Chain A
């Protein structure tokens, strides 16, 4: 495909009209975020294009087509001041062998320290959300590690004393093309009864807006971002928060027998469930919601993996990351196993010394970069401020 372009251009045989910006953005939205970041440095035109606000949203729509393996993160909180966020690099198959790729040179394999009060709530749409799980229940943080940006969400309207539990989710309102965050709070109201309260924040505005819709039951830590909405796995059922209509809807789910170990995630753009209930040998089934409108779930994979007790899974075509329980004596330890489904081989991923002591149930996330520029939505966290220090190492990308 080597064509000498400059000759074509000067001979005038090529129509001299440049391609319209919308088309250029359409093309760029199909490229991996990492490459787009590099393109920024080529010329002013490229810089303007890469930072065009509509590019981030278009790019999000095409994430499922981009074959860049995700960064896998494991977060668990500890009793000490700092908890660990372990990052594992993705793996790439070049037709011959598997090689570890680092997603971005400064934000790759390593262990980052995050202040324990922050719990990683979701890693969706290219953004990480840390909620403050301490008693003070401060504002949540939204972070785009690829850009090194973090934003503090506005303080909640709900009095922190009455909040018992809360959840966050991110979504895209297609009608207004805006990003929204939903916050569901479970707490005690003035009349001493417990209830749910839902508030929505549109990125770029300065407050939360209470909405009448409330979830029919408590949510879970298992959330996934797909089709522009956030889904929670509650037992066997899936609850969706629709960001266009701002209400909760039950979504169809594959009919699985009860008491299964399930993980909800986004597999190549579609909602998927990994069923990893094991007796002696783990037989893993991956169900994918093939058609959102027809509500059809199809079993895409059925694989036997020989692995002991495990917590949860992250799945990417041909790659499976398993968070396993490696507990020895009285210490709770987790490790991450990577299965190459193409090769049929498995490998224990190294991160620091590979094993991290945990005090709470760890969670595994897969993260794909996004171009969303948080500075267009508000004042970024200033280096040195208390909140920034809490997740400071995540922004600077320095691994310990």
Chain B
């Protein structure tokens, strides 16, 4: 009889996950309780992560062509969804999902020129940094 885990999103929605899928997450694996709250991750995103886990728990062989195609489609989402997924997967410590997502970001960066990356990549907010530098210099 496999256990059922409950994952709660930041907007209070609960997802029930079978043991096989849930244990893909190192965070869940090392947790003592079967009820885990995932802070800062909304239902929409958590739902997608659960979907990935369910898909990967089903099929043993991750090198299977069908799974690869499913994975490729899974990561073809908008940038902001992608970053939210990375945050969630990182919190839950699902290595394979993190690798797939970061590879996708890498591929997207490679497809653009440097200038575009600097302007669209949110974490590297160059404008803000430059403004702060100027402020500290007294401008």
Contacts and interface: CB of A to CB of B under 8 A. Distances in A.
Q: Do A and B bind each other?
A: yes
Interface of A: 1-3, 5, 8-9, 14-15, 17-20, 22-24, 26-28, 30-32, 35, 38-39, 42-46, 65
A42 B102 contact: no
Contacts of B108: 1
Interface string B52-87: 000000000000000000000000001110011011
B105 A27 contact: yes
Q: What band does the interface of chain B fall in when counting residues whose beta carbon is under 8 Å from A?
A: 20 to 34
B114 interface: yes
21 contacts: A3-B78, A3-B79, A3-B80, A5-B119, A8-B80, A14-B80, A14-B83, A15-B84, A17-B40, A17-B87, A19-B86, A19-B87, A27-B109, A30-B102, A31-B106, A35-B110, A39-B114, A42-B118, A42-B124, A43-B130, A65-B103
Nearest to B79: A3
4 closest Cβ pairs, A-B complex: A30-B106, A26-B102, A18-B123, A27-B102
B129 A45 contact: yes
Contacts of A35: 110, 114
Contacts of B130: 43
A23 B125 CA distance: 17
A42 B114 contact: yes
Given A35-B114, A42-B114, 12 more contacts: A3-B80, A3-B120, A5-B122, A8-B80, A9-B125, A18-B122, A19-B90, A20-B90, A26-B98, A30-B106, A43-B129, A44-B129
Interface string B95-135: 00011001101111111101000111111111001100000
Given A3-B78, A15-B84, A23 B102 contact: yes
A23 B122 contact: no
B114 A38 contact: yes
Contacts of B90: 19-20, 22-23
A28 to B, nearest CB: 8
B106 A9 contact: no
B129 A19 contact: no
A11 B38 CA distance: 23
Interface of B: 40, 78-80, 83-84, 86-87, 90, 98-99, 102-103, 105-112, 114, 118-126, 129-130
B86 A30 contact: no
Given A3-B78, A8-B122, A42-B126, A23 B84 contact: no
Contact of A31 (B80, B109, B125): B109
B119 A43 contact: no
Contact of A15 (B40, B105, B119, B121): B40
Nearest to A21: B123
A19 B83 contact: yes
A9 B123 CA distance: 10
Contact of B124 (A1, A20, A43): A43
Contacts of A45: 123-124, 129
Contacts of B121: 5
Contacts of A24: 123
Given A17-B87, A19-B87, A9 B114 contact: no
B88 to A, nearest CB: 10
Contacts of A32: 110
A9 B122 contact: yes
A15 B120 CA distance: 15
A47 to B, nearest CB: 11
A17 B118 CA distance: 18
Contacts of A14: 80, 83-84, 122
Contacts of B105: 27
